[in-house]
Amino acid sequence: MSGSMHLSRLRRWFLASPPIEFAINNLKELLVGALRQGPIPQHVAFVMDGNRRFARCHGIETVEGHNLGFEALARILEVCYKSGVKVVTIYAFSIENFKRSKFEVDALMDMAKVKLSQMAQHGDLLDRYGAQVRVLGRLDLLKPDVLAAVNKAVDLTSRNGDRVLNICFPYTSRDEITTAIRDTVRDYSTPLRSDPPANGISRTPFSESHITHHIRAQARCSSKVPDPQSDSESSSAESSALDDDSSSRNDSASRIYESGSSFSSSTTLHLGPQDGHHTKGAALGHPSDTETPSFLSPETISRHILTENMLTKGTPPLDMLVRTSGVERLSDFMLWQCHEATEIVFLDVLWPEFDLWHFLPVLLGWQRRISKSRQNPNGEGDFAGDSPEGKGQLDNIVMLGNKLKAT
Amino acid sequence: MVSKTDREILRADIRARGDKSLTAADRENLLKPYLPDPADLEPSSNSSASQSRTGSGPSQRRQQRARKKPIRTFLKSQLYKFTYAITHIFFGIVVRLLQAYHAVVDRVFAIVYHHHRTPELIRKDVRGLKRLPEHLSVILTLQKEDDALAVLMDEVAELAAWSASAGIPQLSVYEKSGILKSCIPALHRNISTKLTSYFGTSSQQPSLRLFAPHHPVYGGAHTTQQTPRSESTSTPSQSLTILLLSSTDGRETIVDLTKTLAEMSQNGKLSPEDITPELVDAEISEITTQPLLSQAAQESAGTQPIMKPEPDLLLVFGSFLKLDGYPPWQIRLTEMYCTGVHHRGMTGYGEAVEYQGFMRGLWHYAGAQMRFGR
């Protein structure tokens, strides 16, 4: 035991001696520079796990362990940004963590506050190097003083360049997904402005009601029916016998006609990506007698819209998720973001010990796979989704399946 | 890559917060040697703030710099390229060696641990384990050969037999394209045959239920009604429930839920504030736990969930861990294990889904190490 203590002290002394330190730093610099030459993940997420266990193993206080964890974070951020990673997302604090001891929660909050306010003091430095800090999560759960520090740091760096640090502060992924759903629902259930009806028949070039309206208008021109108001009322009364859907479409169509706006305006006002086949664009609303509240059709909600409502909106897709300390669970982190093409890596190292040496093999493996899949898209690491060839293959298999069913 | 002395100063600063901590200027001075020269920053990093602050300064300085030492920058980039190549060559060698080592170890395991189609042997392999997953989930990939579907069905059947033998009552199989869902009867037949080859006569077989989200339970009305009663009382053999998942049960399901909620909200049946994680969880879980009830099963099964919504263990049969569209909501606390086996195409040897990989996953889940020799 004492022998290993001495050895480790000797080793530490040796590593801290100036020439060795210089050499190691240069070596790291060289390796990071070399990493830049290949493909680099654009978005990396870290679960910084193992601070407490590290503190327990080394007989230091938990808070001290978290401080060492912060140093490790600074180290790894340097590696990431220097090697070309655009966005780093870290799991700093889970909503579940509020259940920990009050002492630890307070210490963590305090640390976050101190670090963020220190960062705010170096505003011009941050400006020069263009890193942007975002805090993702339930900010309403924070104490006011921490929240102030968070807001200050976020505001200060919001104009900065292309490197982003996402700090998931009180965060769980289920909460994020729920919030995204709620926001989407809220977006879709706020009535649109009714003067130019923005909902509408986005892809129907000719609508029957429109044509009938035309015919009626022509008839009106010839026979001089004096009251157009009663006419439209009668038309809506007619259509209310039909189902809601067609009646509201009818209604909106007639309103488009009356307001004189062209169809192109109604299509441009149609929010969200057009999925092409959502021709049934009319909103479901109660056809009330005077003002029909018109909504965007829920059918236009797509995974893209939900993704845009996630907290990580506007960042490139997550390429890699690293969790330290050998726990092989996601623990409610980035569920929506990481379940498609993300490579998930579990490392058996405690976070305060995490350094370039542990991260390097992961990055090299990723580069290797990516360059291999670029050379040979059908090979092992097929990141490029479904190719048309794959689709054909699938059709074949579906046919095969049908045959099998038939037998 | 802060030097040790500076690191100590910073650490002392953290500890001594309050009385004699460093000022912002002190810290900045301390940091200065580690920051790259602003002029070194790439022109591509279009930080508008720095541009506006220093005006035309940086571009001029950069030009000067480039004129001053073009050879040095050139050499540097060449050095980086060289190092990149060298590291990748070495890394490639190491990876190959590791692969070879693992392939050998896998073969040894495959010989030592083999099921021999005997449930007793499988039961013996898992006897020492502290815990077993109640709900096991696997990610399988459809290969590109012509007989891919047959191979896939055979893999599912094998997994079902192993799970049943090991005493895992719930198995969910994820396959991205969802082809398995289109041939449930054939798959059921396949699994039944496989179970017969493991367990022998039908009386000792575990009762099998097979379903997919939005599909009724397949297992035939007669099996679901008679087998649980007759067998759970007479023999201790358990039941096996298999759930088939595909990528549409992932994001698409959440999107569908959002659509429904939006529609309800538009009709005033629900306010957006009512949407809580609990509500979403209840809705999403229901899809994977409760099959669509057919007329016959409606009386017997009721609305009991027949699956645990969140899998305990997720086995990925592949060379690295990628979820490939697996339903995201359910895997919050799921342990994941990747067998690290290469696809058949790569090595041309062995199968992706192997008994020893399955066993290693179970051992890993129990926190145990597998040894050579039983």
Distance from C-alpha of A53 to C-alpha of A51, rounded to nearest angstrom: 6
Contact map slice: A 304-363 vs B, CB within 8 A: 306, 328-332, 335-336, 338-346, 361
Query: Residue A394: its pLDDT value, please?
Result: 46
CA dist., res. A32 & res. A41, Å (int): 14
Q: Are residues B339 and B273 in the same domain?
A: yes
| CATH code, B173 | 3.40.1180
- Same domain? B27 vs B119: no
Look at B280 and A283 and tell me if their CB atoms are within 8 Å.
no
Question: Which of the residues B6, B10, B14 would you substitute to probe the A interface, choosing the one with the greatest number of A C-beta atoms within 10 Å?
Answer: B14
Q: Is B92 part of any domain?
A: no
Nearest in space to A34 (alpha carbons), one of A360, A371, A392, A395:
A360
pLDDT digits (tens, 9 = 90+) for B347-370: 444 457 889 889 999 999 998 766
| Cα A210 to Cα A208: distance, rounded to the nearest angstrom | 5
B 153-192 → A contacts, CB under 8 A:
177, 179, 182-183, 185-186
User: Which pLDDT score is estimated for A352?
Assistant: 92
B63 and B199 together in one domain: no
Domain that holds residue B8: 1-35
3-state secondary structure of A382: coil
Question: What would the DSSP string read from start to end of A321-354?
Answer: EEE-TT-----SSSHHHHSSSPEEEE-SS-GGG-
Domain ranges of chain A: 1-35, 36-182+317-370, 189-305
In which element (H, E) is residue A136 found?
strand A131-136
Give the tokens for residue A141. Answer: 């759960």
Same domain membership, residue B329 and residue B201: yes
Handedness of CA B222, B224, B229, B233 (dihedral sign): positive
Residues of chain A with pLDDT under 70: 1-5, 123, 125-126, 128-129, 193-208, 210, 219-293, 377-407
The pLDDT, as a whole number, for residue A314 is 87
Q: In chain B, how many domains are there?
A: 3
pLDDT tens across B142-196, in order?
Answer: 888 778 899 899 999 999 999 999 999 999 999 999 899 999 999 999 999 999 9
* Pair B62, B117 in one domain: no
Are A160 and B49 an interchain contact pair (Cβ–Cβ within 8 Å)? yes
Question: Are B322 and A184 a contacting pair at CB < 8 A?
Answer: no
> How high is the pLDDT of residue B81?
93
pLDDT on residue A246 = 41
Active-site residue set of A: 49, 97
Query: Over the range A299-314, which residues count as b (16 or more CB within 10 Å of their CB) and which as e?
Result: bbbbeebbebbbbbee
In this structure, the answer to whether residues B26 and B61 fall within a common structural domain is no
* Chain B residues closer than 8 Å to A141 by CB: none
Taking residue A388's Cβ as centre, other Cβ atoms within 10 Å add up to 7
Whether the pLDDT of residue B72 is over 60: the answer is yes
Q: Token match 């169809």: residue?
A: A263
For residues B159 and B358, the answer to whether their CB atoms sit within 8 Å is yes
Residue B373: predicted pLDDT: 53
Return d(Cα B88, Cα A196) in angstroms, integer. Answer: 61
B279-295 pLDDT, tens digit per residue, is 999 989 888 887 776 55
B207 and B342 in a single domain? The answer is yes
Partners of residue B263 in chain A, C-beta under 8 Å: 284, 298
Q: Are strands B313-316 and B135-140 parallel, antiparallel or unpaired?
A: parallel
Alpha helices (H) in chain B, listed in sequence order: 4-15, 24-31, 48-54, 57-68, 70-112, 119-127, 148-166, 184-199, 220-234, 251-266, 277-289, 295-301, 344-347, 355-365
Q: Which of A70, A92, A81 is nearest to A43 (CA)?
A: A81
Residue with tokens 């940091």: B31
Among A120, A41, A122, A83, which Cα is nearest to A369's?
A41
B4-8, B36-40, B222-226, B274-278 — which one is most confidently predicted on average? Answer: B274-278
Beta carbons of A336 and A307 less than 8 angstroms apart: yes
Asked which of A99-103, A349-353, B255-259, B340-344 is least confident by mean pLDDT, the reply is B340-344
Is B238 part of a structural domain of the chain? yes
Is the same domain home to B60 and B9?
no
Question: Dihedral (C-alpha) B259, B262, B267, B268: value to the nearest 10 degrees?
Answer: 150
**What confidence score (pLDDT) does residue A230 get?**
40
Q: Compute how many other C-beta atoms are within 10 angstroms of the C-beta atom of residue B269.
A: 10
Q: Which of B4, B80, B254 sits opposite A16 (nearest CB)?
A: B4
User: In Å, how far is A323's CA from the nearest CA of chain B?
Assistant: 12
Note the ipTM here: 0.80
Nearest beta carbon to residue A174 from set B50, B277, B345: B277
Asked whether the beta carbons of residue A339 and residue B80 sit closer than 8 angstroms, the reply is no
Q: Which helix (H) or strand (E) covers residue A132, if one does?
A: strand A131-136
Enter the tokens of residue A175.
């909460």
Closest by Cα among A346, A340, A306, A338 to A322: A346
Question: Which residue reads 């429930």 in tokens?
Answer: B241
B2 confidence band (pLDDT: 50, 70, 90) = low
What is the DSSP annotation of B183-252?
GHHHHHHHHHHHHHHHH-STTTSPEEEEE-TTSB-BSHHHHHHHHHHHHHHH----EEEEEEE-GGGTHH
Q: Does A175 touch chain B (CB under 8 A)?
A: yes
- Given B47, B87, B346, which is nearest A161 (Cβ)? B47
Distance of CA A398 to the CA centre of its chain: 33
**Helix or strand (DSSP H, E) at A155:** helix A144-157
Q: What are the pLDDT digits (tens) for B186-245?
A: 999 999 999 999 988 767 788 888 988 888 888 754 444 444 444 433 344 578 999 999
* Digit-coded pLDDT (tens) for B123-142: 888 888 889 999 999 999 88
The per-residue pLDDT for A116 is 85
Q: Clarify whether residues B22 and B54 are in a common domain.
A: no
Beta bridge partners of A15: none
Residues B61, B138, single domain; the answer is no
Residues B259-281, mean pLDDT to the nearest whole number: 90
- Please give the share of chain B, as a percent, with pLDDT higher than 70: 72
Are residues B144 and B58 both part of a single domain?
Answer: no
Residue B103 within a domain: no
- φ and ψ of B210, to 5 deg: -130, 130
Q: Does B272 contact chain A (CB < 8 Å)?
A: yes
What CATH number labels A36-182+317-370? 3.40.1180.10
Which of A339, A362, A367, A380 to probe by mutation at the B interface, max B CB count within 10 Å? A339
Token pair for B27? 């810290």
- In angstroms, the CA B268 to CA B324 distance is 37
pLDDT attached to residue B201 = 75
Asked if residue B162 is part of any domain, the answer here is yes
Domain-located, residue B59: yes
Residue type, position B94, single letter: V
Q: Closest Cα of chain B to A242: distance in Å?
A: 18
Handedness of CA A141, A143, A148, A154 (dihedral sign): negative
Per the CB < 8 Å rule, is B186 touching A405?
Answer: yes
Q: Which sign, positive or negative, has the C-alpha torsion B325, B330, B332, B333? A: negative
- Which positions 104-123 of B are in contact with A (Cβ < 8 Å)? none
Cβ–Cβ < 8 Å for A160, A127? yes
Single-letter code of the amino acid located at B308: K
DSSP secondary structure, B15-45, as one string? HTTTTSPPPHHHHHHHHGGGSPPGGGS-TTS
Q: What is the pLDDT of residue B217?
A: 83
Rg (CA), chain A: 30
Whether A298 and B334 lie within 8 Å, measured CB to CB = no
**Residues 6+ away with beta carbon under 8 Å from A39:** A366, A367, A370, A371, A374
Do B54 and B156 share a domain, yes or no? Answer: no
Q: Which tokens belong to B220?
A: 């035939």
Distance CA B12, CA B16 (A): 6
Which H or E run contains A163?
strand A163-168
Chain A, residues 76-115, CB within 8 A of chain B, namely 78, 114
Residue B138 belongs to some domain of the structure: yes
